[in-house]
Structure 1
Amino acid sequence: MKPLFLSAAVLFALLPPGSAQPDATVPAPPRLQTGLAAFTLRPGEHERGFPLRLTLTIANRAAAEALETNADSLRARQLLRQSGRLESMSPEDIRAFHERHPALEVPVLSWGSAGTPLADAVEFTLTGPGARPLSSSVRPLASTRSLQGPILLDGVQLAVLEFGLDAAELETWPEGEITLQAALRGIPGSASYLRLRMRRDRPWFWQTQAHIRRIYLTGTYERADHQWTALRATADAILKKDKASPFGWELLGDALAATGSPDQARLAYARAARGSLLLQRKDGDPSPEMPVYHLKRMEELQPGLPSPPPAP
């Protein structure tokens, strides 16, 4: 039983003796809902020549809705208790109040089976302009390949799986709108859709930061797929264009941390953090965001602490 539901039960105990208690509410059956997203340079667009990284989120929608209802009901009961009106309410009024603000049982679901990769439960369908089917080999990235069930979907915890398409395969796709569909095998109504417009648009040679951001997109794909040698080369390519680039130092830190050089990785993350703040100020941001990822990785790599897992 979730703590929120327990809190609601405690509030029921505060009602005067003889007060009407709410009827037991039958929980809704678990409903799995998926959400498909892509890492791109522009919303809804992707450029040829760069790999496509996809994230599929799987959630128990019925459990999330029950938790939201319970939170609203809990607030309503707290306000009622604080108002002092509870003592003057009749049993009929109290019952009507509970009917308007029920406490629902949360339908927790265990998804997946032991020994079976979660990614095997996902199937993709891709279509191009004119609804023409596209042959593709969407594959789970290394950050996902080892994930196995079961996973508890309780309305708070989500399953997040990463998939990818290599740049060479995208070169065969036509220009125009591409529709990607991801669905869970054997679960009707679990499909989610994503539409991307494929385009070929390279920046001018003097637009250094635009080039760097495109290379960084490839680096994040390599990081998610644990391609550490390729990631090191990508980081070096960025730093060759701009030796102060926070994107290059971040990826270099990831490659160094994953290949057993934590001290050098901490220095790289420190330079990435400093460069991130400087770049934001250079772009005219008066209140730059803190480089949370870089600072977190530096903390994880402090001497004397257990080795952290590879960056996601």
Structure 2
Amino acid sequence: MNAKRIEQQSLNRGIIINILMGSAGMLVYAFTHLEALFLDASFVLIEVISGIVAAAISRISQRKTKQFPKGLFILEPVYVFFKSILIIFLMGFTTWSVSVKAYLFFTVGQGTKINVVPVLIYAIVMVILGSCLLTMYRRGNKKMKGASEILTVESKNSFIDVMMSIGIAFVAMLLMFIPSGSPLSFLLYTGDFFITIIIVLMFIGQPIGFMIQSVKEILGAELPAGPIKHTIEAIVLKHMSNCKKIFIFKRGMHIQVDVYLSPGMGACALNSIKLIRDNLIAIFQLVDVDFMIDSQRENKQ
């Protein structure tokens, strides 16, 4: 199956699941006012909106025009960049909100007791749906050898959402065993503060990392070490062991491979060039391979 078709099918199915999850989260939040639930539900609703945008980008990014002969794949890292900023903002806003509520409780005793039962039911359902979503994204990306930037981000975000739901379920079960007069009774009013802070501290690095990586892709930085780079280098060196240098660039799902050859090996390398191109296209599909003889690069190195 075409790589882009796999990506689009995964995104479309994800939109449906995320709509169910986000609607349930906002409904339960309306009854409980638990800020950790707001973070969780808002996170899912962002996934719905961004999933629609991602599906649209997935459809148009491979279109080639006179001005963009290699396609519009740059839209994919641009999408990742702005989504990462949105998630960081959401985490910061929710952290501020729960911090204010915790401050009011500890200073003036103002607070609302958490309604545990609906929260626990919601969290269990979200863990099940989120795990299905995570599995679906990972399987789709695995079929594409991990080349989909969009599915990589969506699967990481789904993992964060699953962990949020697990954390909420844990707090809800803990609160069920805390009596009102116990030394831990403050958790009945501030439990969402602690779980929200823990979740943000654990996962804030992921959107920051995606944002940095997307900027590198937009600016045309070489692909860092990883499975994709190792696979490409292994294929090139298998068929052309005496090449001088391999540069690999990636924008979204599009991969650009520049192979620099030693002077004098052009004619005898034609068969190897064809084998390399055929192998890379068979694995990654959306890949361009350029071979160059550059004596100046050789002299500089």
TM normalised by structure 1 equals: 0.25
Larger radius of gyration: 1
**Structure with the larger strand share:** 1
Greater relative contact order structure (CA < 8 Å, 6+ sep):
2
Question: Given the two structures, how large is their TM-score scaled by the length of structure 2?
Answer: 0.26
Please state which structure has a larger fraction of its residues in helix: 2
